[in-house]
Every structure is written in C-alpha cells, then in structure tokens.
Amino acid sequence: MKLSVWTYEGPPHVGAMRVATGMRGLHYVLHAPQGDTYADLLFTMIERRDRRPPVTYTTFQARDLGSDTADLFKTACQDAVARFQPEAIIVGASCTAELIQDDPGGMAETMDLGGIPVIALELPSYQRKENFGADETFYQIVRRLAVPMDRTARPTCNILGPTGLGFRHRDDVTEITGLLADMGVEVNVCAPMGATPSDIARMGAAHFNVLLYPETGEAAARWCEKELGQAFTKTVPMGVGATRDFVAEVMALAPHATRPSEDALRLPWYAASVDSTYLTGKRVFLFGDATHVMAAARIARDEMGFEVCGMGCYNREFARPMRAAAKEYGLTALITDDYLEVERAIEDAAPEMILGTQMERHIGKRLGIPCAVISAPVHVQDFPARYSPVMGFEGANVIFDTWVHPLVMGLEEHLLHMFREDFEFHDAAGPSHHGGKAVARQDSAGALPRTPGYLEKDEAERGADVVTWLAEAEAELKKIPFFVRGKARRNTESFAAERGVREISVDTLYEAKAHYAR
Amino acid sequence: MTQMPPPPATGCSATPVLKQRGQREVFCGLTGIIWLHRKMQDAFFLVVGSRTCAHLLQSAAGVMIFAEPRFATAILEETDLAGLADAQDELDAQVAQLLARRPDIRQLFLVGSCPSEVIKLDLARAAERLSVAHAPHVRVLNYSGSGIETTFTEGEDACLASMVPVLPETDARELLVVGALPDVVEDQMLGLLRDMGIERVRCLPARRADDIPSVGPNTVFALVQPFLGETLAALTRRGARHIPAPLPFGDEGTTAWLQAVASEMGVAPARFAEVTDAPRARARRAIAAATETLNGKSVFFFPDSQLEIPLARFLTRECGMTAIEVGAPFIHQSIVGPDLALLPEGPTISEGQDVDLQLDRARAARPDLTVCGLGLANPLEAEGLTTKWAIELVFTPVHFYEQAGDLAALFARPLRRKAKLRLEAAE
C-alpha cells in the first residue's frame, strides 16, 4: 500500500477514456462498479465538452457480484452498439472489474455485435497509470485497424498522440497543422484526436508520422514504423529551437517541403529586448510530464536565459530520457509521483520561479514562489477559450507571455531595489499586475508582514546547527526584495558555514553577496 | 406574498415508483468524505482502495486538497493483492505512519472501497485492532463508501451509522439532530430550538470527538438529511425514537420540521409562533424574489443525492414550479414519506436509473430546468436544456429559514442567466 493524497495521473482506464473521447465513431464499454462515472466530469467540466464521453459503464453493484456481472457486461455491449452505432468498440475493465475476472475482451469477442471490430484492452490497474493507458489503447486500436497501403501522391503525414483532456492539444494540433501546411505537407490523419476508426484504417497512406506527444503516441508510432514503413519525428516542436529542429526533420522526411515563414514569431525579439535583461539567470524549477519538462528546460535556458536549478517528471516510463536530459543541465532528475517529494525538492532548490503542473501551482502558492503551468494535470483555467498553443511559433509567443507574467516586471523589480524602504511600494505588496491587496508597510518597530513558506522560517525551525543572524543583519535581509530574499538567506548561511562564521552580521551578508555576485 | 397552496389530497404517497435498473451516472459514497472531513475537525478519513479512488477524491475535492486535507488513500498495489495476510500488516504500518505525522487526529475512519471489498479485506477487524493499539488517544472506526454498496450521500449515512454503536449510553431525555449541516446553519437551528426552550440538543456528527453525543431509550432524534436510513436503523436499535417530519427546506419544510420537534418536546403553540413568525416572514420574502423566475416553470430531477423529493416539494409548493419527474437513487419511505405526502400529484417518481432511458424521457419532456450531475449538465446545456448541477445542493448551506431564499435562488440563477445572455448581433 502507498499512502497518497494527490495523484499526478489517474488509473489506466482514464487514459483509455481520453483516447475514446478524443476520437469519433468509437465507443468504450468499461466494466466498472457504480461510481466510476466520476471520470465523465473531467471531460464535461474541465475540458468543457458539450457531449458525454462515448463510454458505457456497466455500473455493477454489490447485488450483481457473482455470475450476474458477466451478463451485465454483455447487455451493456449490446445496448451501446444498438444505441450509438459505433464503427468499432474498445472494451476493458476498471481496477475493481480486474479483480472479479470477467474477461471483458474474451466475452465481447464471442458476441455477435454486427461485425464491428472489437478491441480488447489489457490495462493493469495496479501497476500502470493514465498515460500508459492512453498509449496502450491507441496502440491497440492502430494495430487492429491500420493496414499497409499506397502512399498519397502528395507528401502527407499523420499527427500522433493528441487526446481528450490533453494539455493544449486542441491548439497544438491547429498550430502544427498550419506549420506543416506552410511547408507544403498535408496532414493525412490526426489521431486519436478527431479521428474515426475508418480514419485509423487510412493511416498507412501517409509518408511519415509526426509524434507530438510521446507519452500517448509512441507505441503506435513505433508500430507504424515497423509495420507501415513510416518514420516518425523525434523532436517535439515546443520552443523556437525545437521547432526549427522539427522543421529540419520534416524537410529530411519530405524532400519537397519548403521552409515555413517565421513572420509571426515574436519570442526571440521579446527575449532580446532590454526589459527582458532582468530575466537573466533567474532560477527555475521544472516538473511535469517528461516531454513538456524536457522541452521547457531548453526554452528556459537557451531562449529565456533562465538558469534551470531543478527538473523532474512524474511518469516513470520516461525516466531514462529525463535523466539524460537533466545531466546536460548539470542536474540529477527527480523521478517521482509523490508531490511531497517534489515540494521538498523545490524547498531545497529555492527557485525564483516554478514551471510545473496544477500541484506545483499550489506548492508555489504555499511557499510564495511565482509559478506557471507547463504540463498536465491541469485545472479548468488551463483549457482556455482563447487560442493558446505551446507548440510551434505561436506556441513560443504564448510561452514567453505565460512565463513572464508571474514575475515582477523588469522596471518594477528595478524600482523595488531603488525604493526598497518605500512606505507604499514594497515587496509585501507583490507584483502590481496580480490581484493582491496593498499592505501598508509596518514601521521598523512593528513586525513586517510575513510571507508564508521558507522565506521567513522561524529560528526555532531552522535548527541549532544553523548560524545565528544578528538583529541588524536580519533587518538588512528584510530590505532585500522578497523574490531573492530566500536565496540571499541561504547563500549567506552557507557562506558563513563554510568559513566557520557563527554569527551573521551586516558585513557577512554583503561579503556573501559579493562572493555570489552573478 | 405567495399564498401557500393547501396540502394535496393524497400527494405522491401512493404514486407507484418507477424502478429501473441499468447504467447509473452517480457518485460513490467516498465523495461524502469531502464535506464530512470539514465538519468533523479532528477526524481523518483513510480510504483503502485503488488509484481510481484517489483520483475520484482529488477530482471531487478540486483545490481543497492542498489545505492540508484530513483524508488520503492507501493505494493497493500488486503485492497487496497477492496475499491477504500482509495486507493487515501493511495497513497497520500506514496507519502508524499517518498518526505519527498527524498527532491532532482523534478519530480515524478506515473507509472501504470497491477493490477492498471485492478482495474481502476485513477493515472492521483492522479497525478494532488499531483502536486497541492507538487507545485512548485515537478511536478507529470503519465503514464502506464503495460504489458497489453506496451512492454519493449514502457515504455520510454509512459513516454516521458506524459511529452509533460506540456512542456512550444515557438515560437522559435528549433531542439528537442527525446529519452534517454547515456550521452556520447548525447554529441557526440550535438558536431556534433554544428560543423555544429546548436546551438539551446534541448533533451527530459532532464537530469534535469531545462533543460526541450519548444515546439511549429516552433519546428522540430528528433527521435534517433524507439519506440517513442506516443511521436511523442503528439509532432505533439503541432504543432512540425517530421524529418523522418533512425535511427543513424552505419556509414550509422548516416550519413543519420545527413543529414536529416542538410538539414532541412540549413547546406551547404561542411560544412556537413567537419564535418562528419573524424568520418565517423573512424566508417568504426571500423566496418571493426567486419565485418571479421559477413560477410556472417545469423541473426534472435526475437521481443524485436523495435530496430530490424534499427539494421537489419545496419548488412545487413554495416556488410555483411543476415537477415532471423526480428521480432519487434510493427512496427511504420512513424518512421522505412526509415530503411525498405534500408533493402535488403528477410527476413520475423514479428510483434508481437507466441513464440512457432517463435521458430519452428528459429530452421528450423538454423541462424548463433539469437538475443533474456534472457529467450530464454541459451535454444537456448543449442540447438546449437549462440545467442546475445537483452537487451544489449538498455543498451549499440550503437548510432552514435564513437559507430558503438562497435555495430558491440556486434554481432561479440558471434560468435568469439563460434569459440574460444575448449573443446575436444587435440589428
């Protein structure tokens, strides 16, 4: 047993739902107890879908346990096919049904369902999670329905991996489809998102595949490579450099392709403009799914000029590439699905900004660190109405805005330094463009407003082995803007500890500042 | 002022109930934890289940999960399924770790789930063993919130019923009010009863372990929620007596509920009127504001929480709505009987669900307002129906006089919004 409050991924059958809900003309018959329909809410509420997910749950109850559950499953299959008339169905079990051993796949295959393809899913609920469920489901569908065929006359590709409930999948697909069109490459089939089973059957006509989301499309991409002779792109086009690399890959796969226009790309100039100078060396911590974290790390370091001070992912399937990527940044990757471990790592790294998931947003809130969301799992506000891809050139523009927004703007940061003793304009008031109530500054005799988190830990909490701050030095530390104060405290303490200094004075603080100057 | 219609001749007491079995679009009882852990301030809820259970809780709890929640899931792993002997040891270890981390916890609930029940993990025995191990500081109880056993609010019923056998014994004549209410509503209720001279009132669940009520042959109890059938039975087994009454929704429901309690406790009619006249008038005024929108509109209830029958009674009798179908996941006749008797004849009363057939009925009826869960709300809106999502009725203060206006407004708001939004070009 593992004690868990918060889980980054749902169970694997939720991944299968993401594939079914992303597609059209496919129905999922899920052997599951009453109550498992809660997952519908993820699609109807978080993604704001305007129809029910194409999932029939058998919703068995205690009184059905025994031989009855198998009949329930068969009836559910027949009713679903009669009512929804899908082109194909996928069948499987949720974690509870896995325990009662009804074998949905075996049962459905022996039934007369009018000859439509029945694809059985084996999703081990007690070992694997949501992303595996999506990847495996899509792979089984492709393996069952796709066949080798003549290539289209014009250069075409398939886009693989976008699903229901995917972080920005809707707009990424639009953006990359546009980018490919600009290069003279048409999209043959985009799947699972938007595809029908008969579209899957046409996948073989494409010249190559674009793998947008390795987490949910890699198994299918590999199968297509082996069975349909289609190479697939290895670079995920997120960020300017990665998009240019992706373009080069596509040009190698489609010899007639032309270079796309970069007229609408604004990130490079925005990052070069003088107001962005203050971004230089800002320490960021990245966490999320491996694909988004690895892409974000490159953007952070090479395109925004940040320093990546920690990175990791929650999906173990990608631990190896993640570790290799982290090495390039001189870091050890954090591979965990325990948010408390992530919280500890963030406290230790003391970053100035977190790029993560919904959980890291809350961790950031608790510790008083700005945060932007770069990866699922996300809440309803990250399924925006406006066009917001994170891939391609417009995606780069979106990323620049999204990441800079939580930070204090350059000029503002500068003024805070100048007027750090100001009575109205001080760090406790927070960034001017965020909803926060202006707090009047306490005079030096009164207590300063405390910000939560590690920035203001009590002496008692910091343990006896820590050096002591003299009152004057503590007061001086309070004058340092809040967004660097935590780091200044740590730097000063380790500087003092290294030199055997037991009491930190104002001088020690400035000695350390000079030592660590960047 | 809205004139209250006279009670119907027979109401829906004798209406045959449409019972359908099939697919159900409902929550399991684990969701009760979301509001129970807020109510019981020193209780911790440990679900023994799968990743699905953890995922459900976080989906239902939304952002609350980060306010240092007092609930968690012990996720079963492959090794736990292989052999049962060590599952108990695993559980002991998890609980010890948990209680070491949270010394403020006084009551621990081991909550059964579908997976734990299918593999027949004996949580009752585990609770007994752990109670001994962690006595006297922590008391460990067990109940099932599994989908195979419980629907949505039945999780609260199972939780309260698990507490009843271990409540201390008393011979005192006391009133016990049963059902988790928001603190503000509970305080209003206690205030009304106190003003009538009823001083000895206890609540189940209590806010803290120290305030746990006693029960015995002289205890009388009233329910403020309709879904407490198991708890009613458990209290009856302890010798306590149930006071039947309509549920305290709206002016009429609240007055009838208070009247039943007051009669039982020997409150003089003059005193009763003195205490209730002013809040009744306030409630009626507040309801009247929403009634402008609701009057003459039809309503269709999908089953969700068992609150459907008393709420349909409120909307039809106090807000002028017409009920087309009132669906409940389960109907406890002994609890909602008084509400059924007041519900004007006409609607289909359904128990259980075959969701696709019920959706067909709703589409055919085209009700003005459809009360349903979040899995159906947006899809029905997209089909042009106006919906009110049902879960809010469990999470929002809606009982007794001062909330009567808010309750009516919850139903009026979607209709007002529908009338407000204009997106066509201004020609």
pLDDT tens for each residue of chain B, 427 residues long: 344 556 566 789 989 999 988 899 999 999 999 999 989 999 999 999 999 999 999 888 776 666 678 999 999 998 888 876 688 898 999 999 899 988 999 999 999 999 999 999 999 999 999 999 998 999 999 999 999 999 999 999 999 999 999 999 999 999 999 999 999 999 999 999 999 999 899 999 999 988 999 999 999 999 999 999 999 999 999 999 999 999 999 999 999 999 999 999 999 999 999 999 999 999 999 999 999 999 999 999 999 999 999 999 999 999 999 999 999 999 999 999 999 999 999 999 999 999 999 999 999 999 999 999 999 999 999 999 999 999 889 988 999 999 999 999 999 999 999 999 988 887 6
Residues of A marked as binding? 36, 410-411
Nearest CA in chain B to A39: B56
Nearest CB to B51 within list A11, A59, A365: A11
A61 with B148: Cβ contact below 8 A: yes
A34 with B148: Cβ contact below 8 A: yes
B56 with A35: Cβ contact below 8 A: yes
Nearest CB to A35 within list B26, B66, B374: B26
Q: Which of B28, B105, B378 to mutate to test the interface with A (most CBs of A within 10 A)?
A: B378
Pairing relation of β-strands B71-75 and A2-4? antiparallel
Residues of B marked as binding for [4Fe-4S] cluster? 28, 53, 114
Task: Quote the minimal CA–CA distance from A431 to chain B in Å.
Answer: 23
**Which residues are CB-contacts of A475 (< 8 A; sequence separation ≥ 6)?**
A444
Task: Tell me if B308 sits within 8 A of B327, measured CB to CB.
Answer: yes
A57 vs B contacts (CB less than 8 Å): 23
Task: Name the residue among A425, A53, A283, A285 with its Cα closest to residue B23.
Answer: A53
A35 with B147: Cβ contact below 8 A: yes
B149 with A366: Cβ contact below 8 A: no
Enumerate residues 113 to 142 of chain B having a beta carbon within 8 A of any beta carbon in chain A: 114-115, 117-119
Task: Name the residue among A139, A142, A110, A147 with its Cα closest to residue A122.
Answer: A139
Instruction: Kindly state whether A153 is in contact with chain B, defined as any CB-CB distance less than 8 angstroms.
Output: no
CB atoms within 10 A of CB A82: 10
B379 with A49: Cβ contact below 8 A: yes
* Side-by-side strand order, sheet with A55-57: A55-57, A26-31, A88-93, A118-120
Burial class (CB in 10 A: 0-12, 13-18, 19+), A381: exposed
**What amino acid positions of A are annotated as catalytic residues?**
275
B376 with A44: Cβ contact below 8 A: yes
Nearest CB to B75 within list A4, A41, A44: A4
- Looking up tokens 């928001």, which residue turns up? B182
| Residue stretches of chain A with pLDDT short of 50 | 443-464
Instruction: Kindly state whether B263 is in contact with chain A, defined as any CB-CB distance less than 8 angstroms.
Output: no
Task: Tell me if A26 sits within 8 A of A90, measured CB to CB.
Answer: yes
What's residue A64's pLDDT? 87
Instruction: Kindly state whether B377 is in contact with chain A, defined as any CB-CB distance less than 8 angstroms.
Output: yes
Nearest CB to A33 within list B80, B148, B381: B148
CA distance A490 to A516: 11
Task: Quote the minimal CA–CA distance from A74 to chain B in Å.
Answer: 12
B69 with A5: Cβ contact below 8 A: yes
Instruction: Kindly state whether B108 is in contact with chain A, defined as any CB-CB distance less than 8 angstroms.
Output: no
B56 vs A contacts (CB less than 8 Å): 35, 38
CA distance A39 to B211: 37
Task: Name the residue among A452, A386, A468 with its Cα closest to residue A170.
Answer: A386
- Angstrom CA distances, B374 to A57, A132, B47, B60, B218, stand at 16, 27, 23, 11, 43
**Three-state SS across B216-240?**
CCCCEEEECCCCCHHHHHHHHHCCC
* Tokens linked to A301: 């370091």
Task: Quote the minimal CA–CA distance from A378 to chain B in Å.
Answer: 11
**N- to C-terminal Cα distance for chain B?**
39
B31 vs A contacts (CB less than 8 Å): 38
Instruction: Kindly state whether B243 is in contact with chain A, defined as any CB-CB distance less than 8 angstroms.
Output: no
Task: Tell me if A141 sits within 8 A of A200, measured CB to CB.
Answer: yes
Nearest CB to A95 within list B51, B59, B72: B51
- Looking up tokens 């007061």, which residue turns up? A475
- The DSSP output letter for A45 is I
